[in-house]
Amino acid sequence: MLDLKYQRATREHIFAAKEELHQLAEIACEEEARKAAQANWKKAQAQDCAQEAAKILYHQKQAKMLSEREKARSQARAQEDLLQHNKTVKQVLNQAAKLNHKEEVDGEDGDSRSEEDDKNEDNSVSEGQVEMQI
């Protein structure tokens, strides 16, 4: 009888051990699946971070390029304005030189001019200079 009880106890013990091994195997599979899912999630997060970093870098480079382009345009405009200003100044100086030369030539031709002629000429030069300044 003891043998039978012993055999039954041994069988139950074997079945319990098998059941426990089966449960441990399931737990191990679940743990592996959880670790794989976690690794995939981390990989996806890393890809998202890399993509966001690439977007930020792209926008930074684009902003820098636009800034440099605007700076170049501004410098070109300033240079063009300076050239135009220099051209205008040169024209005004040439006109003033022509008027001075004309006054010198007129002054050498006839010293018999009256004071009234000199006043009229001074007024016309002043008006011409005012026009040039405008």
Q: Is the pLDDT of residue 122 over 80?
A: no
Structure tokens at 37: 């899912």
- Which residues have CB under 8 Å from 92's CB, separation 6+? 132, 133
Alpha carbon 91 to chain centroid distance?
A: 41
Contact between residue 125 and residue 99 where contact means Cβ atoms under 8 Å apart? yes
Taking the model in full, what pTM does it have?
0.47
Q: Kindly report, residue by residue over 15-39, the tens digit of the pLDDT.
A: 999 999 999 999 999 999 999 999 9
Structure tokens at 9: 């106890």
